[in-house]
Amino acid sequence: MLHTTKNTARILLASAALTSFALPALAADTYTLDPMHTAVTWHINHFGFSNPSGKFMNADGVVVLDQENPAASKVNITIPVAAIDSGVPKLDEHLKSKDFFDVEAFPTASFVSTKVEVTGENTAIVHGNLTLHGVTKPVDLDVKLNKLGENMMNKETAGFSATAMIKRSDFGIVMYLPALSDDVRLDIEVEANK
């Protein structure tokens, strides 16, 4: 009986040791967005004449990257809408008003992933919910993993590019429709540090 107990103890200790080595390889890594190198750029058709753009900067959030099982990865990002920058201060003030984003009532936008659909070695469709102007709607991001590695500050960094199309009317932003287009293209650049 004592011999069996000792064998069982050895097996349990060996299993625990193997598990402790295996877990780090299986664990997902959490990367925090670098606000200086993360931007959401929007493009909209202006009465058929041009396609101006602007940026949202200072995003906050995390990317949970599971390299062993990329489909288990997650994204959770918050954007301060009042930080909008079109390069034209008077336009920024108008965009912040009740005519458009109404930043006093809705100071932030957010994206929370619900599913990651792997489409290639470094690509995926990230399905999630975008909350903008107090409305939450499903949005799909076409995402490319650009690079994993150390940045110039020796921090483990993940870099991504993503695109999406949304309709602003889905979020209750309807000023000047249809002359000012309903379709808005989003180009997203993300650097995040582990």
**pLDDT tens column, 46-57:** 999 999 999 999
User: Both tokens of residue 142?
Assistant: 């076409």
- The full set of domain ranges for the chain reads 27-193
Across 127-149, average pLDDT: 98
* Residues 92 and 55: beta-carbon distance below 8 Å: no
Rounded Cα–Cα distance for residues 54 and 65 (Å): 28
First CA to last CA across the chain, in angstroms? 49
Q: Looking at domain 27-193, which of 1.10.8.50, 2.40.128.110, 3.90.228.20, 3.40.50.620 is its CATH number?
A: 2.40.128.110
Left, alpha or beta for 16 (phi > 0: left; psi -120 to 50: alpha)?
alpha
Residue 24 has a pLDDT of 44
Residue 192 · residue 63 · CB < 8 Å: yes
pLDDT in the model for residue 150: 94
pTM as predicted: 0.84
How far apart (Å, rounded) are the C-alpha atoms in residues 154 and 149? 9
Q: What is the pLDDT of residue 26?
A: 53
| 127: its two tokens | 């399905």
Q: What is the pLDDT of residue 98?
A: 97
Q: How many CA atoms lie within 13 A of 94 on its CB side?
A: 9
Percent of the chain with pLDDT over 90: 85
